Amino acid sequence: MSRTAHAAGVDAAAEGLRERKRRETHQRITDAGLKLFLSRGFAATTLDDIASEAGISRRTFFSYFKSKDDIILSMQNAGWAAMYADILKASPDTAPLDAVRDVMIKHMSRYTTEEMTALDALMRSSDTLASRKQAFYAEQEQALFDTLCEVWRQPERRTALRMVAIVSIGAIKLTTQTWNAQAGPKRPMVKLLREAFESLRSEV
């Protein structure tokens, strides 16, 4: 191996190590923030608390996040990204709406009602998330449409895929609203989501 090629290999390995460490630190900060938010409350948790829990300095925190709200946004985006990754694995022979329904139900079913209640309260405690809620849904509608177009590539299906994205995000919004409006013991959100898709299917 030439000296140049060896140097390139070393640089690539070093870059890979730096990226891995950065991902690990990002996840450690996220995990620390979530733990403290759920145990102490969003407002009562300071940036110094999160930095201390994650074993980093306050300055390092700002190398990864601009604010506490960014931690929640990162968690939220990661969850949606994981769903899109699963949709990309769907067979093109599957009906797009069925593929989206199955993936959404799969991911939502990972949480108990107690965990969902705690996470929902956390999301509601962020003024930033509350102010950009509609914009966030619009962003996810576009991201879902883009993902669907990666699996079902026929140009003539674009309009139908756009509709699938619209109604799927609508099902999530309706499910969340219905779940929050429940009085007394809450029915599992995943059951409400399944019913929303079943109602949609019966009317289409």
**pLDDT, tens digit, for every residue of 107-153?**
999 998 888 888 888 888 877 777 877 788 999 999 999 999 999 99
Instruction: Give the model confidence (pLDDT) of 53-112 as tens digits.
Output: 999 999 999 999 999 999 988 888 899 999 999 999 999 999 999 999 999 999 999 998
Euclidean distance between CA atoms 104 and 140, whole angstroms: 13
Residue type, 138: A
Q: Are 126 and 33 in contact (CB under 8 A)?
A: no
Neighbours of 185 (CB within 10 A): 6
Is the confidence at residue 8, as pLDDT, over 70? Answer: no
Q: What percent of the chain has pLDDT over 90?
A: 68
CATH top-level class of 69-204: mainly alpha
Question: Burial letters for 8-21: b for 16+ Cβ neighbours within 10 Å, e otherwise?
Answer: eeeeeeeeeeeeee
**pLDDT tens-digit readout, 154-184:** 999 999 999 999 999 999 999 999 999 998 8
Q: How far apart are CA 170 and CA 164, in angstroms?
A: 10
Q: How many other CB atoms are there within 10 angstroms of residue 72's CB atom?
A: 23
Please determine whether the domains at 1-65 and 69-204 fall in the same fold group of CATH: no
- Residue 129 has a pLDDT of 77
CATH no. of 1-65 = 1.10.10.60
d(CA 123, CA 42): 9
The domain locations on the chain are 1-65, 69-204
| 187 DSSP assignment | P
pLDDT of residue 7: 53
